[in-house]
Amino acid sequence: MIERRSLLKILMLPVSLWKRLNPAFLHPGIQRRQFLGTVFTLVLLTSGCSEEPAATVPALNWYVFAEPSGAFVEAARICSQQSAGQYSIALVPLPADADQQREQLVRRLAAHDSTIDIIGMDVIWTAEFAAAHWIQPWPEDLAEQVKKGRLGSAVESATFAGRLQAAPFTTNTQLLWYRTDRVDSPPKTWAEMIEIAESLGENGTIQVQGERYEGLTVFFNSLLASAGTTILDGEQVQPDEAATRKALSVMQRLAASPAAPASLFTNREDQCRLAFEAGKSSFMVNYTFVWPSARLNAPDIAKHMGWARWPSISRDRESRVTIGGINLGIGAYSKHPESAFAAASCLASENNQRLAAVKGGLPPTITSLYHDSKVREIFPFADILLETLNNGVQRPQTPLYNDISLAISHTLHPMRSINPEKDVRRLRKKIERALHSEGLL
């Protein structure tokens, strides 16, 4: 059908041009005024039939780490398609390092960046981002939907000030990985593991994260929780001194043991993985990514690779392990908040969590997926993983967590210098100063 704007152009053409284009078009008896009146009538008749320009589809930016398998890209494509024109999702990759991710987002959000619609948030950012009003709390009706069937620890990680601040998307935690060809059964406690490792000689190395970074704080937090206490109770420094000494004693004993790796003080998760795959280590505490890596890169190691629950401090108390993962927050300055909430709900749905698990190896936050056959193929240790997550522990949920983590990792590094008696008091003092933004490192 002829569009109105096309007919309007006709009005601008001189009659002499029409005669040149088609001499028979204008009969000699037709006057110019009659011709223009006829065209004007046609414009009015056709204007109601012309197609209106299509409404612009909101393009939502999802800031998230560059997930290598393509699972996030696929989820964004699926949700964009299923929205039927309500929105489209474009991924904006963040750096691989969590500290660099946070730095980039904090700078943008502090500047009221309206291009940030959906945020793939590390679980430790919830309190900070919510308290700064950089993310929007989830409306109660949507919050109930995205909490339904989720792991309690995952929901807790996304909650601050009594409100759900983000949609639980993926989670993670550490397990104990060991060599089944060297160890008959996995040790229950840290003391047992160190003794077994020492008896194995040069092949008895225990791989843990000991560098001065977030991983060291996670290690201490898990030991502390396993000893029966926490770093904070609300905004008050909480750790029981006797329990804290037990946690610090494990770190001290490991660091002084011949079972400690020479690289302990520079070890991160990936260094531990590589060392275990090299074959000289019999034990490792690490995240689930080490399993597919070993199968791909060190199949001879993988066939002798067992898994168990993280060691406890004592046999009379189960270990409690720090959880990680990614939750989906909505940027406070997004121009399309309603569409962003709908998109985040879709991204965190069961089908997309299954996709992230099967394709990307990222543990889901939906409990039922741990019984899904496809997920269990990827995580043959799904039962132990679910058990650990159900008893998982949070890191301190405070807007000042970043300062507290720095205070802990700086106080306890290197692990060989730990003095359990003195460091109980040093830690309390450093954490209290961090809570008051004093002596930041």
Question: At 64, which CATH number?
Answer: 3.40.190.10
Residue 127 lies in a domain: yes
> Can you give the pLDDT at residue 236?
77
- Angstrom distance (rounded) from CA 247 to CA 314: 11
> Can you give the pLDDT at residue 319?
98
Residue 53 lies in a domain: no
The answer for 325, left when phi > 0, alpha when psi is -120 to 50, beta otherwise, is: left
Tokens of 112: 């009221």
Residue 114 lies in a domain: yes
- Angstrom distance (rounded) from CA 425 to CA 239: 10
My answer on whether 258 and 238 are in the same domain is yes
Residue 54 lies in a domain: no
> Can you give the pLDDT at residue 145?
96
- Specify the pTM: 0.86
> Can you give the pLDDT at residue 238?
73
> 């106080």: which residue's tokens?
411
My answer on whether 286 and 266 are in the same domain is yes
Outline where 229-298 has alpha helix (H).
241-256, 269-278, 290-297
Residue 66 lies in a domain: yes
> Can you give the pLDDT at residue 235?
75
My answer on whether 147 and 202 are in the same domain is no
My answer on whether 139 and 251 are in the same domain is no
Give buried/exposed letters for 246-285 (b at 16+ CB in 10 A, else e): bbbbbbbbbbebebbbebbbebebebbbbbbbeeebbbbb
My answer on whether 426 and 295 are in the same domain is yes
> Can you give the pLDDT at residue 55?
62
Half-sphere exposure of residue 287: CA atoms within 13 angstroms, side-chain side: 18
Cβ-count burial of 418 within 10 angstroms (0-12 exposed, 13-18 middle, 19+ buried)?
buried
> Can you give the pLDDT at residue 237?
84
Helix axes 401-411, 214-226, angle to 10 degrees: 90
Its domain, for residue 19, covers 4-47
My answer on whether 157 and 253 are in the same domain is no
Pairing between strand 59-65 and 323-330? Answer: unpaired
- pLDDT tens digit at each of 441 positions of the chain: 344 444 434 434 444 444 444 444 444 444 444 444 444 443 333 444 444 445 689 999 999 999 999 999 999 999 999 999 999 999 999 998 899 999 999 999 999 999 999 999 999 999 999 999 999 999 999 999 999 999 999 999 999 999 999 999 999 999 999 999 999 999 999 999 999 999 999 999 999 999 999 999 999 999 999 999 999 987 778 789 999 999 999 999 999 999 999 999 999 999 999 999 999 999 999 999 999 999 999 999 999 999 999 999 999 999 999 999 999 999 999 999 999 999 999 999 999 999 999 999 999 999 999 999 999 999 999 999 999 999 999 999 999 999 999 999 999 999 999 999 999 999 999 999 999 876 444
